[in-house]
Structure formats: C-alpha cells, structure tokens
Amino acid sequence: MNVTVGANDLKVLELTLAILSILVLHGPNLNLLGQREPGIYGSLTLEEINHLLAAEAFKLEVKVTALQSNHEGVLLDAIHGALGQYQGIVINAGAYTHTSLALRDAIAAVNLPVVEVHLSNIYRREDFRHHSYIAPVVIGQISGFGVQSYLLGLQALVHHLKKDEV
C-alpha cells in the first residue's frame, strides 16, 4: 500500500504530535471539595477545579485529562495506564500521600515526570501529614496555595516537558 503525504499534511501531523497530554489525578475525598472543611481546602468544587485546569491547559496548549478516585487501585491503574498515553502526571494523592507505598512504587515504575500538589500546606498541619511517600519520586511538590497549587503544578510540569523538547 502506498500513501502519499503532502507538505500541508506533514504540518498537521507535526502539530498533532506536538500536543502534550497531561493526566491529573485526584485522590480520596477530593470529590467532596466545596463542602469538606472549606477553611482548609477552599470553597471550590472538584468540577470547578477541573474547569480551571482545562482553561489553563488551553492557555498552555496542552491536553488535560482528570480522574478522581477514592480507591487506591484505580489510581494505580491510571498511573500504569499513563505510559504511552500521557507525557506527565499532576497528582494530589490526598491521604494516600502519607500512606501509600504502592502509589510511590507505581510513580517510580512508569518513569514519567510527576508533580505532587496539595491544596493545603501539609507541613503546617498534623505531624502525620508532614511525610510524603511520593515526594522522593516526583520532580517537584507544590502545597499550600489552594487551587493555585494545581495550576502551578500544571505550569511547572508543562515547562519541564517543553524544556526537554528543545
């Protein structure tokens, strides 16, 4: 079978290939944002945060897919499934940050750049929240800026990925 590709087709192909895809993972209890302890987590819902992430992704010219789960295995499967589909991950692992060696190992195994984000400053909270099992295997961590933590995390990841393209 012979396929003829014109110059215009190559430009379209190059543009299609150049679009970065980012997976945003929200861990347990984040589905309750907007009603759960708004003094700590803010008043925005997860849907509103995802809309802000989509708007930021549009500005950054990347594609974002968001997933929330209260189940560790679903998050693990999403991390494993990111291989070959996404170029990086932004994750707010919620309480799993402080408990899950499985998430830590999955992030290390896929070898994708990952940014850890938290709405609250985990270091100004209870002592058990000061330790992150995933921090040693991510490229960076942003916490304490509310919804801006997500946006800053996405910006940082995209910057990291685009500097690798040059």
Q: What pLDDT digit, counting tens, does each position of 67-112 carry?
A: 999 999 999 999 999 999 999 999 999 999 999 999 999 999 999 9
| Number of residues that this document lists for the chain | 166
In 3D space, the residue among 82, 72, 71 whose CA is nearest the CA of residue 109 turns out to be 82
> Closest Cα partner for 75 from 118, 39, 104?
104
Q: Is 120 annotated as a binding residue?
A: yes
The verdict on whether residue 119 carries a ligand-binding annotation is yes
Q: Which residues are catalytic?
A: 41, 118
Given a cut of 80, whether residue 12 has pLDDT beyond it is no
Residue 154 has pLDDT above 50, yes or no: yes
H/E stretch holding 46: helix 46-60
Q: Where are the domains of the chain?
A: 21-165
Is the pLDDT reported for residue 1 higher than 60?
no
Side chain identity at residue 149, one-letter code:
S
pTM value > 0.75: yes
In terms of pLDDT, which residue wins out, 114 or 40?
114
Query: Taking residues 104-125, what's their average pLDDT?
Result: 93
Give the number of other CB atoms < 10 A from CB of residue 123. Answer: 13
| Rounded Cα gap, residues 36 and 42, in angstroms | 8
Residue 65 burial by Cβ neighbours in a 10 Å radius (0-12, 13-18, 19+): middle
Please give the helix or strand (H or E) that residue 17 lies within, else none. Answer: helix 7-18
pLDDT of residue 7: 54
What superfamily does domain 21-165 belong to in CATH? Dehydroquinase, class II (3.40.50.9100)
Give pLDDT tens digits for 20-76.
999 999 999 999 999 987 777 777 999 999 999 999 999 999 999 999 999 999 999
Provide the edge-to-edge strand list for the sheet that holds 114-118. Answer: 62-68, 20-26, 88-92, 114-118, 140-143
Of 98 and 9, the structure prediction assigns the larger pLDDT to: 98
Average pLDDT value for residue range 111-116: 98
In whole angstroms, give the CA distance from residue 57 to residue 3: 34
Whole-Å CA distances, 84 to 9, 78, 81: 23, 12, 8
Tell me if 98 is assigned to a ligand binding site: yes
Whether residue 92 is annotated as binding a ligand: the answer is: yes
